Amino acid sequence: MRRYRQLYRIEKDTLGEVKVPINAYYGAQTQRAVENFPVSGMRLNRRFIRAQGIIKFAAAMANTSIGLIDKRIGNAIMKAAEEVIKGKWDEQFVVDVFQAGAGTSQNMNANEVIANRASESLGLKKGDYSLVHPNNHVNMAQSTNDTIHAAIHIASIEAVDDRLLPYMLLLERALKKKAREFNGVVKIGRTHLQDAVPIRMGQEFSGYAEMVTKGIDRLRRARASVLEIGIGGTAVGTGLNAHPGFQGIAIKAINRITGKRFRRPGNIFEFMQNTDGVLELSSVLRGIAVSLTKIANDMRLLSSGPRAGLGEIMLPPMQPGSSIMPGKINPVLAEMLNMVCYQVIGNDQAVMMACQAAQLELNVMMPVIAHNILQSIDILSEGIKAFTEKCIVGIKVNKERCKSLSDDSTALATALNPRIGYYEAAEIAKEAYIKGKTVKDIVIEKGIMTEKEAQKILDPRRLT
């Protein structure tokens, strides 16, 4: 008779028995979530799982040092939590992004994985919680309500510090370098997509650099709000079932692991009720995305052509641009950044709607907030890095094209205002356009200026 290997074990929770895959480190509550929420196939970000591990490690350390957990058990929990922090058990975090409110399933996923791994290290089989229990030990002095919220903050701060801020600084430096490099190149300015008075290419690029600088400043200010974490608030902020010394010890442990300066909220009840810190951060990310969209769009316009567009700058050729038109090269990095920015702007809308859904003592929409804010930080970071390194750094300017367009522009008539007046200058511009001549040609023909005077007053460089 053929023997079949058992594919599952039986665990129990408060609702009864549950079949759990035999090799899974998660348990009954996670399995119920897997069955209940087969929605998107998306899981929460690796940084979020790391943050959960950090919180569980810090909680076990606090409870062990206070004497509420036996040292042997506490050490086993901390060791298992360290493995979660390092990503060893990422495949065991299987709950869909769209899950039960507040993230209870996600919290229990972490509790069960750590409890089973700790039990295993103590010589027990998976599913045997006689020594280490997911709720009684791993979740001691915690609730979904404070840990999920804190994990969002921890993961967001680490993502901003490790990737987004460094890559924004990289872009800022690259744009400032281009501003210096292009400062001697005079070009025609444009407003309403029509000819305007001259500007130097370096001045134009300095504006792009300053947009990024201001985005960095706003990001740093928003970052400060996300440093508050309400660990120890448990269910509603009262700290029920948490030792009075738990919060201070846990936050110190979190700071030691992360190297950050997380702190207690000024009002723990405000922290539990709202997700305003993340909302502020998300709105800053949206603002950065709007600024970057403008920069990317300008790169596409300024490089349009190569012969039938503006053609004032040349972007690095990265790949063939058409499956049918040979030799076509497209501004692919700018296009990619546009798409990233649109996604970030959409994510911010989702975060805003989820944040306004807070009711009484809790916002239950935290899983979708976590997913969207962390995705925004990730894609914005990598999008900026690629755009900087593969596009901005390699931009070249077409000096001859810039000179030709600025010399020929009828907008140079603006410099005549102080000498002959606005309406008379407008007539000069109109005549130059109709006859296909330059403004300088017309004023010399009409005897309004000598060639020497016209050369001086209508010099595009002087007008910048």
pLDDT in tens, 380-402: 999 999 999 999 999 999 999 99
> Which structural domains are found in the chain, ordered by start?
23-140 (1.10.275.10), 146-230+268-399 (1.20.200.10), 409-463 (1.10.40.30)
Q: What is the mean pLDDT of the chain?
A: 96
Rounded CA separation 210/55 (Å): 38
The confidence band for 4, taking pLDDT boundaries of 50, 70 and 90, is: low
Residues 6+ apart with CB under 8 A from 415: 197, 457, 458, 463
- In percent, the amount of the chain with pLDDT more than 70 equals 99
Confidence of residue 198 (pLDDT cuts 50, 70, 90): very high
Query: Residue 120 above 90 pLDDT?
Result: yes
What's residue 6's pLDDT?
A: 74
pLDDT at 442: 87
Q: What Rg, from alpha-carbon coordinates, does the chain have?
A: 30
User: Is the confidence at residue 432, as pLDDT, over 90?
Assistant: no
pLDDT tens track for 51-76: 999 999 999 999 999 999 999 999 99
- 3 pLDDT above the threshold of 70: no
Q: Which of 192, 225, 282, 404 is catalytic?
A: 192
- Among this protein's residues, is 192 annotated catalytic? yes
Higher pLDDT, 444 or 226: 226
Give CA–CA dist 168/331, Å, rounded.
Answer: 20
In tens, the pLDDT along 240-272 reads: 999 999 999 999 999 999 999 999 999 999 999
Tokens 């008779």 -> residue: 1
Q: How confident is the model over 12-36, as a mean pLDDT?
A: 97
Mean pLDDT, range 100-104, rounded to an integer: 97
> Hey, what are 281's tokens?
């951060």
Q: Is 8 helix (H, G, I), strand (E, B) or coil?
A: strand
Q: What is the mean pLDDT of residues 355-380?
A: 98
2 has pLDDT over 60: no
How many other CB atoms sit within 10 Å of the CB of residue 71?
Answer: 10
**What's residue 443's pLDDT?**
86
Q: Tell me the mean pLDDT in the region 413-435.
A: 90
Distance CA(364)–CA(369), nearest Å, equals: 10
To which residue do tokens 């599913």 refer?
127
Per mean pLDDT, which range of 275-284, 353-362, 437-446 is the poorest?
Answer: 437-446
pLDDT higher than threshold 80 for residue 194: yes
Distance (Å, whole) CA 455 – CA 128: 90
Q: What's the rounded mean pLDDT across residues 76-88? A: 98
pLDDT recorded at residue 451: 86
Report the range of poorest mean pLDDT among 23-32, 78-87, 276-285, 405-414: 405-414
Among 229-238, 343-352, 391-400, 405-414, which stretch is predicted with the lowest mean pLDDT?
Answer: 405-414
Q: Which of 119, 149, 243, 322 is catalytic?
A: 322
- Residue 372 in this model has a pLDDT that exceeds 70: yes
**Number of Cβ within a 10 Å radius of residue 16:** 7
Share of the chain above pLDDT 90, in %: 89
Residues 372 and 325: beta-carbon distance below 8 Å? no
Between CA 409 and CA 422 the distance in angstroms is: 17
With tokens 């709202």, the residue in question is 274
What confidence tier does 463 reach under pLDDT thresholds 50, 70, 90? confident
pLDDT over threshold 50, residue 1: no
Give the model's confidence band at 5: pLDDT under 50 very low, under 70 low, under 90 confident, else very high. low
Position 435 pLDDT exceeds 80: yes
Catalytic-residue membership of 322: yes
Q: What is the pLDDT of residues 296-354, one digit of tens each?
A: 999 999 999 999 999 999 999 999 999 999 999 999 999 999 999 999 999 999 999 99
Q: Label residue 13 exposed, middle or buried (CB < 10 Å: 0-12, 13-18, 19+).
A: middle
